[in-house]
Amino acid sequence: MIRSLIMWLLQRFRSIPCKKDYGLNVHLLYDLQQFEKLGELNPPLVRCDFNWFLIEPDEGKFDWEATDNIVSFCEGRGIKILAILGYNPEWADKGFNDPEFFIEKWVNFVETVVERYKGMINFYEIWNEPNLPRFYQGSRFFYFENILKPASEVISRKSDARIVAPCVSVMDNNDWYAWIKAAERYKKYFDIVSFHVYRDSALSVIRRIVFGIPFRGGSYKSILGTLQKLHKPIWLTETGWKTSNCFYEEQKEYIELLLNYIQHSPIEEVILYDIADSVDSSYGILEYDLKEKPAFKFLEELG
């Protein structure tokens, strides 16, 4: 039934040119072949981790090889970069109990990155999915006051890059709503509001964006409606489908349907996850050995 509906929607949408200015999550690339495949697509935008713990594994000692490579590659091809700043190294862990220590070290890291890549990075996203314990163990207040705010002040002072936040994951709970409500009080510290949605089909993703998740008492909070109250451009910076849970062709159809929906919605940008499968994930539009899936060919033809 769902597949029949998707095919019907695709037939209706195909009379309208598909949105071309999508983005792609790429992480940090270390394999020359991965760079070659990214070059074949040449997406308008890539989203990439600039992990604190990788760039500054020991205090004051920086490793720029991986980030230099992706920045140089994108700059040479006119690809815009959304760099994710976050994920502190172990030596900074105590900062969650010592805000002054954390802010000093965090600001130094952000300032060092921004100065190195001034004019080369277009957007900075502050942390990734901070509402999930897997990626962040602090409080909402600590994130907005001690992570977003000081990072924003540095970036605004040192570069023309735009700031993206709070990058919340909309899961099967209401936590995302509390984060967006908290973001209202800090909205002067970011330019673009970002969120993530993962569901089992494109229709499920669209339905979740539009209608949201039921709250107690059976009421619904629309994700889109809630984000629009911030009066900021809205970006969906992660969504995608595992080919371990759907057919290759379905993954392509889901991407096509979503890109068509986005161009008729208030959402200005969608960044697909992910360029390639990893050992434990099949979200990629390339297999682990970089063989092309139908979704890759579709995006390549999109131009």
Calpha distance 46→74 (Å, rounded) = 8
Amino acid at 130: P
Q: If you write DSSP's letter for every residue of 16-43 in order, what string do you get?
A: SPPP---EEE------HHHHHHHHHH--
pLDDT at 255: 95
How much is the average pLDDT of 82-108?
Answer: 91
How much is the average pLDDT of 240-269?
Answer: 94
How much is the average pLDDT of 101-120?
Answer: 97
With a cut of 50, say whether residue 6 has pLDDT above it: no
How sure is the predictor about 299, in pLDDT bands with cuts at 50, 70 and 90? very high
Two tokens, residue 13 = 């949408």
Cα-based torsion angle of the residue sequence 32, 196, 92, 185 in order, rounded to the nearest 10 degrees: 140
Amino acid at 290: L
Two tokens, residue 211 = 């209608």
Calpha distance 167→17 (Å, rounded) = 29
**Cβ neighbour number for residue 61 with a 10 Å cutoff:** 8
Go through the domains of the chain in sequence order and give each one's CATH number: 21-302 (3.20.20.80)
With a cut of 80, say whether residue 15 has pLDDT above it: no
Calpha distance 185→183 (Å, rounded) = 5
pLDDT at 20: 61
pLDDT at 77: 95
Q: Cα dist. 141→161, 179, 182 in Å?
A: 24, 10, 8
pTM listed for this prediction = 0.92
How sure is the predictor about 216, in pLDDT bands with cuts at 50, 70 and 90? low
pLDDT at 55: 97
How much is the average pLDDT of 265-288?
Answer: 95
- pLDDT averaged over the chain? 90
pLDDT at 171: 76
How much is the average pLDDT of 2-31?
Answer: 66
Q: Cα dist. 178→23, 189, 215 in Å?
A: 27, 18, 12
